[in-house]
Amino acid sequence: MDSLYILIPIALVFCAVAIKLLLWAIDNGQYDDLDKEASRILMDDADKPGDSQARD
Amino acid sequence: MLMQVETDSACYHCGEPIPADCNLSAEIDGASRAMCCPGCQAVARLIADSGLDAFYRLRTSLNETPSQQATKELYALYDAPENNQDFVTETAAEECRAQLLLGGITCAACTWLIESALLATAGVSAANVNLAQQSLVVSWDPQQLPLSEIFQKLASLGYDPHPWAVSAGAELLQREQRGALRELALAGIAMMQVGMFAIALHAGDIQGIAAEYRSLMRWVSLIIATVVVLYSARSFFRNAWINLRHGRLVMDLPVALAIGLAYLASAWATLSQQGQVYFDSIAMFTFFLLLGRYLERSVRQGEILRQTDLQTLLPPAATLKTESGWATIASRSIERGQVLLLKSGEVIPADGIVLSGSGSVDEAAFTGEHFPRELTRGDSVAAGTLLTEGGAEMEVTADAAGSRLASMLQLLGQAGGEKPQLARVADQVAAGFVGVVLCIAAAVACYWYLQAPERALWITLSVLVVTCPCALALATPTALTAAHARLRRQGLLLTGENLLETLNHCSKVLFDKTGTLTQGKLQRIRLQTCGELDAADCLQLAAALEVHSSHPIAAAFSDVEVTQQLLDVEVIPGQGVRARLGDDQLLIGNPLFVRSKCAAADQPPTSRGHWIALAKNAQLLAWIELADSLRPDAESLVQALQARGLAVELLTGDHSDQGPLIARKLGMDEVHSGISPQQKLAYIQQLQAAGECVAMVGDGLNDAPVLAAADCAFAVNQATDLAKSRADAILLGNKLHSLLAAFNTAHDSRRVIRQNMVWALSYNLLAIPLAASGLIPPWAAAIGMSASSLLVVLNSLRLK
């Protein structure tokens, strides 16, 4: 059980890194428009202009 | 849900029904698709030709029917640095960035279409559309591509671009929104972390846990909870404190008290190694409250950003008469006494008097009247109105700040300030509740201190935790958030916070006529021939003539494809159009004008209605009746509203007999026609003084003050930005029936809020005596508190 003394602080460090990343993404404007990002996955690269034949 | 139009009876692009004699199509994804008008056809062809057909498979709502209002010349004005400094910044050498607002964005596929089309244009280096704000940030190289080309490209895709002068307010709003998201994100991650340790601690309470490890987990939870309390929950403390200083008890006060006390007690328990900790409850409670607020905020933000100011309603530039000729100047530098040239299709930049020339001016913004007024020498014109035909010189009598438009906006500001604010039920309940809880807690503490001092602290804490108003605080916002989401799906965007509450008290619904109950555009309803040609030939000739006019009447013929080429076309402003086809002289226009040129002077078939006449070689060919057609769902909406026991009235600025006619047709209870915006405002205030709660549905600039004063205000989707910014809700799409959804949802959400309140209060009332008598250990109080909050959240989700 002594491993908890190492594992829990490590978990805290991960947690801090995750928060830091999330805050960076927010400040970077990545969450400014949630409506659009939700549909982005549907609009894949094959639909880029110019190669409309490639998708089928 | 993807949106496809499969039938041939509706336009593949916008979904409008296809007129009977229209035969337009465009090839999309290898199949020929029917189109309702040349505008849709042009946009659809452009999209298909750019290899962007995928747009039609990806979109989740239909496009708006494109309107071709702005011209290339207008966009060219934005190329001059003095006209674009508001919204263009130079980011690097040979790169500029512009911020634009886009009208006509309906779903995420539009953002993809716009971004793909712009990025494929040489010179554009980045394009980013924000769907919620309907805005676009584009970076491009001004050496390769003038800004007007970007405007033109957007317009040809069927969107309506406007410069977006970023005000300090809008920037502040975005910073606040990001700040709120940061607080929410931190609370969310912290909630998960603390929750894991809480499970270990609860398991330890049941199975036994070494004091050493229990202490470790409590210390770690304490560290995380400290961050949450100091960072994420600070706004609750600040609000509670600011309001307390002004002697107001608000919902944030019990929230702040609960968070603060639970935190202090838990910290004390951790330090003294006894009692119970509530770190998980603190983090979870903070997260859910912040989440509700964040969602509510982001719904409103997009609309707030588009709050229109004077500058965006006026054109960026005007043509000034100087000694050496005509010069283009920025509108903001216009001064009294200057002489300006007004061109057909332009918005008039200042108030003035016509010196020479003639034309007709569309003053729908002020009067709601959609037939243009004829202008001659000496007539006055107002800033913000549209010169539909002709051309004139005018002398400026008032600059933008002193114009009628500015005073209209001022009226609006006043009306907005006078809007009756509903007392917040939740806040009132909370205020009383907090007082009672604090008294009870104090009494319990005194009693137990005398009876058994060692138990006093924990029993008092149990009382405070058990009575934590979490469930009460969540009861209203969670229900409202769910109701917002439901209405959004049903085609109604809520922008005001009180609408759902107010709608339940509503007793009268007032409608504007033009553009609200009607579609706001003229349509042919009858064609009566009286010459040698049949109806189809007459229509062909009429369309061929009207295609040269920019008068609103011409729009009634835009669905007819013109095949004949006319020569010597002459547009007589306010009168009609004259042209030559082969050896024949053709003439179309208002009855007086045409009859004055004809040999036999007939009367129009009826004296009511709006007729125009078509003639060939001084012989009358046909009479065509035009009318602003009702929206298809107007009649059933009025009936449905009346079935709910609401009085339905019509308020219109139109002087003609159209108002009473429509009211009778729809079976409305009362009609007030020919009244000015001021009179409309006075009427609403008179109704409110008599104790009525009034809902108003409108669209135009002239409705904006009335919308601001009404208890519940709805704007239709085509409404001016100003009207939208004053409304509590916007009907997305083109269906008036969303209004009924609002009434239904308001009713449902009131029921859910009441259930939540009753549950939260009765839980607290039941638990207080038990906790006060020392029967509930603090850990059970914490579980009870979480469970009751969870129940409230789940009950609210039923609304979705």
Whether B132 has its CB under 8 Å from any CB of chain A: the answer is yes
Substitution target in B47, B114, B130 with the highest count of A β-carbons within 10 Å is B130
Chain B contacts of A54, Cβ < 8 Å?
none
Whether B224 has its CB under 8 Å from any CB of chain A: the answer is yes
Res B422: pLDDT: 39
Reduce the DSSP state of residue B408 to 3 states and report it.
Answer: helix
Full DSSP string of B613-672: EEEETTEEEEEEEEEEEEPTTHHHHHHHHHHTT-EEEEEE---STHHHHHHHHHT-SEEE
How many residues are present in chain B? 800
- Write the pLDDT tens digit of every residue in B166-218: 655 567 777 888 898 999 999 999 999 999 998 998 888 888 888 888 999 99
Whether the Cβ atoms of residue B209 and residue B199 lie closer than 8 Å to each other: no
The span from the CA of B219 to the CA of B214, in Å, is 9
Chain A contacts of B130, Cβ < 8 Å?
32-33, 36
Structure tokens at B623: 């009479």
- Write the pLDDT tens digit of every residue in A6-43: 999 999 999 999 999 999 999 888 887 776 777 777 76
ipTM of the complex: 0.81
- Number of C-beta neighbours around residue B744 at 10 A: 15
- Write the pLDDT tens digit of every residue in B495-517: 666 778 788 888 889 988 877 88
Res B500: pLDDT: 80
Reduce the DSSP state of residue B304 to 3 states and report it.
Answer: helix
Whether B493 has its CB under 8 Å from any CB of chain A: the answer is no
Whether the Cβ atoms of residue B613 and residue B583 lie closer than 8 Å to each other: no
Strands B694-698 and B670-673 turn out to be unpaired
Q: If chain B, 800 residues long, is cut into consecutive pieces of 10 residues, what is the mean pLDDT of each piece?
A: 61 76 78 80 81 78 64 70 75 83 75 85 86 80 86 82 66 81 93 91 87 90 94 90 79 76 87 84 81 67 50 70 76 80 80 84 66 79 80 83 71 47 54 76 88 76 70 75 78 73 85 80 80 82 81 77 78 80 84 77 70 84 82 87 90 78 86 83 88 84 78 78 71 79 89 88 84 75 73 83
Chain A contacts of B224, Cβ < 8 Å?
12, 15
Reduce the DSSP state of residue B203 to 3 states and report it.
Answer: helix
What stretch of H or E contains B46?
helix B38-49
Contact criterion met (CB < 8 Å) for B216 and A50:
no
Res B184: pLDDT: 92
Res A49: pLDDT: 46
The span from the CA of B499 to the CA of B696, in Å, is 12
Alpha helices in B72-167 (DSSP H): 72-77, 81-84, 108-119, 147-156
Res B596: pLDDT: 80
The span from the CA of B132 to the CA of B255, in Å, is 30
The span from the CA of B37 to the CA of B19, in Å, is 9
Structure tokens at A52: 């409309």
Contact criterion met (CB < 8 Å) for A39 and B132:
no
List b or e across B703-735, with b for residues whose CB sees 16 or more CB atoms inside 10 angstroms. bbbbbbbbbbbbbbbbbbbbbbbbbbbbbbbbb
Full DSSP string of A5-50: HHHHHHHHHHHHHHHHHHHHHHHTTTTS-HHHHHHHTTS-GGGSTT
Reduce the DSSP state of residue B355 to 3 states and report it.
Answer: strand
Question: Longest C-alpha distance within chain B, in Å?
Answer: 114
Alpha helices in B490-553 (DSSP H): 499-503, 535-546
Which among A9, A31, A53, A41 has a CA at the least distance from the CA of B112?
A41
Whether the Cβ atoms of residue B758 and residue B788 lie closer than 8 Å to each other: no
